[in-house]
Structure 1
C-alpha cells in the first residue's frame, strides 16, 4: 500500500548562555514551524539540548572540568521540564520528534536519543553505546536495550548517534527489526569538510543496506559561538564544517539538497513504496541473508548495577554473579 510521510531534518544552533531551557524552547519553535510545512517527522541533531560538548574536543581533560560541571547543571532529566515541553509540542502538532539530549542520571551523563510519538508519548529513550574518542571523558556507555526499533505514527523508526554508524553490528541489529525510517544524528560544526564527506557516505550506505529512509540532522555553530567556545583563535578551525543535514531514500538517493551551513530544514516526502522496491532486489535480513553462516547475538538486557533478590518477579534471564572460585 502506498504511504507518504513528510519528514524534516533540522539543522539548528543551540543556545549556549542560559539554564539549558533556551535550546529546548528553540526546538519547540522549530517543531511548530515544521508543522506549518505539513511535516509529520522532525529529527534534531545529536545531544542538541542543551548543546554538544564541543569543549571536550578542543580542550585537554584537566582543563574542562568547569565546563563539564556546567553541562551537568544544564543536562536533561527524563522525564523532566524539557521532555514535557517537547512532548506538548509533538502532541499539539501531531508530529513524531527525534531529539538528542545530554541526559543526566544521577552522577553520570549520557548521549541520549529520545523518540516522541505524535501523541507526546516517549516511545524510546536510548543511550549511545560507545562514546567516541574525546566523548568518553564526558558520557557513560549505553547498552543493548536501546538498539530497538519502535512503531510510531510515522512508521517503524530506529536511531543511532554519530559514529555508532561505524558499528556494523549495531546497524544490523536495527535492520533485523525492519526499520522503515532511520534517524541519524551528528553534532555538526566539527572536524571540517572531511567529516561531512564521511557522513554522506555513511548515511547513503545505510539507506542502501537497510532498505530504509535515512533522516540525518547535524548542529550548527555561529561564528560568535565558535569564538566563545574556542577562547583561542588557534582552536577555532576544528569547530567549523562537518555539517551534512540530509534525507536519503532506500535507493541511496538524496531526496533534497543537503544543508551544509547555516540554520534551516531539509524537507522531503518519504514514499514507502520505495522500501519494497529496494528490498525486492536486496533484503539484508531476508532473502539476501545467510543466517546459517552468519548471525548476530544481540543482548537486549538493560545494564543494571544491582538486582534485588526480594523482587517478586525477577527476570529469569538474569543470572547470578559468581566468583571465580565457584562452579
Structure 2
C-alpha cells in the first residue's frame, strides 16, 4: 500500500519581485519538506503574484493605461526565462530531498508573458505547463500556451500533472490529462473560491486522482512593497493605490481524495496544510468509474491533441 505525503503551501507571494520570490519559495519548500511532505504545491503565479490589479483597480484595463504598462514592463524584466539560473537553489533542494514541487510563475517566452506552472522533479529539468487560455482580463497580460506543455511527470508510484485555474472547465483539457493517468493533480488557483472548489473536487472524482487545489493569499500592502522592491514607479503605485480593498486573495486551498472527499482544507490566511495520500483509493475508485477506459466510448468520441510547439515563425536553410 503506497502512501505519499503532500502539502499545499498557502503563502503570500513576493509580488512583482520574482528574484526575491524565489528565495522565499526555497524557504517555504524547506519548511514543508521538514514537515514530511514530498509533493508540495503552490498556487497560480506564486512567483510574481497574480495580476490582481486587472480585476480590482478601476481603469486598469483601459487602453494605454500608464500604470498597467509600467507593471507589465516590470514583470517582463523579472519573469522566469528558459534555463533561468535563479532557479538553481530550488532545483538543488529538490534533488537533495527527492521532492516534487509545483509552482506557478510569470514566464517570458520571447517578448510575451505566459502563465506557467512549473513542476520541479529530482534529476530532471522542470516540467512546464503554459496556460492554454488566459481568462477574461488575463488576456491583457498573458499569451496563450499550446499543447506542447500538456504533459505529466512519471514517478515510480504514479503520474503527477497540473492545470491552471479555469482550464479545469475545459472538458477536452481534462480528458487529455485523464488519459495520462494522473495519481496526483495540482489545480492551481489564485483563490479557491466556492465554484473553484467544486471544479477541483469534480476533477478528483472524474479523474479518479488526488487533487491539490492550491490557492494563495495577497494583500494590497504586499503588492506595494513588491513594487518598491523592483525600483518603484509612480504610475504603477497610483494604480495599485486605487484598489479599495486590503486583502485581495483568500486562500481556501484543499487536498481532495478520488471520491471527492476533502482531506485537508485551509482558511483565508497564510498556512500550510498536509495530507497523506493512500494511493490504493485510486484503484478502488476505478472499479466504478474510469472516464478514459470502461466509462468511455472511444468508438463514438475521439480526441486528438496537437503536441507540437507553436513557434509561429519557422526558419529553414
Q: TM-score, normalised by structure 1?
A: 0.86
- Partner of residue 287 from structure 1, selected from 267, 270, 294: 294
Name the residue aligned to 1:231: 241
- Partner of residue 275 from structure 1, selected from 262, 282, 291: 282
Name the residue aligned to 1:182: 185
SS of corresponding position for 1:34: helix
Contact 1:90/1:96 (<8 A) preserved: yes
CA shift at 1:300, angstroms?
Answer: 1.2
**Gapped regions of structure 2 (runs ≥ 5):** 226-238
1:99 aligned to 2:107?
no
CA shift at 1:91, angstroms?
Answer: 1.5
Name the residue aligned to 2:211: 214
Deviations 1:126-174 (A, max 9, x none): 2101111111010111001111122036630111000111101101100
CA shift at 1:241, angstroms?
Answer: 4.9
CA shift at 1:181, angstroms?
Answer: 0.7
Q: 1:78 to 1:309 in 2, by over 3 A?
A: closer
1:146 aligned to 2:149?
yes
Deviations 1:206-236 (A, max 9, x none): 0000000001111111363367774125x32
**Gapped regions of structure 1 (runs ≥ 5):** 189-194, 311-327
CA shift at 1:54, angstroms?
Answer: 1.5
1:172 aligned to 2:175?
yes
For 1:241 and 1:107, the matched residues in 2 are separated by 28
Give me the CA root mean square deviation. Answer: 1.9
Matches within 5 A, 1:17-28: 19-28=17-26
SS of corresponding position for 2:181: coil
CA shift at 1:122, angstroms?
Answer: 2.3
For 2:203 and 2:40, the matched residues in 1 are separated by 19
Q: How many residues align?
A: 298
SS of corresponding position for 2:272: strand
SS of corresponding position for 2:263: coil
Give the structure with the higher percent strand.
2
1:199 aligned to 2:196?
yes
Q: 1:92 to 1:221 in 2, by over 3 A?
A: same
Contact 2:219/2:248 (<8 A) preserved: no
Q: TM-score, normalised by structure 2?
A: 0.88
Q: 1:158 to 1:16 in 2, by over 3 A?
A: closer
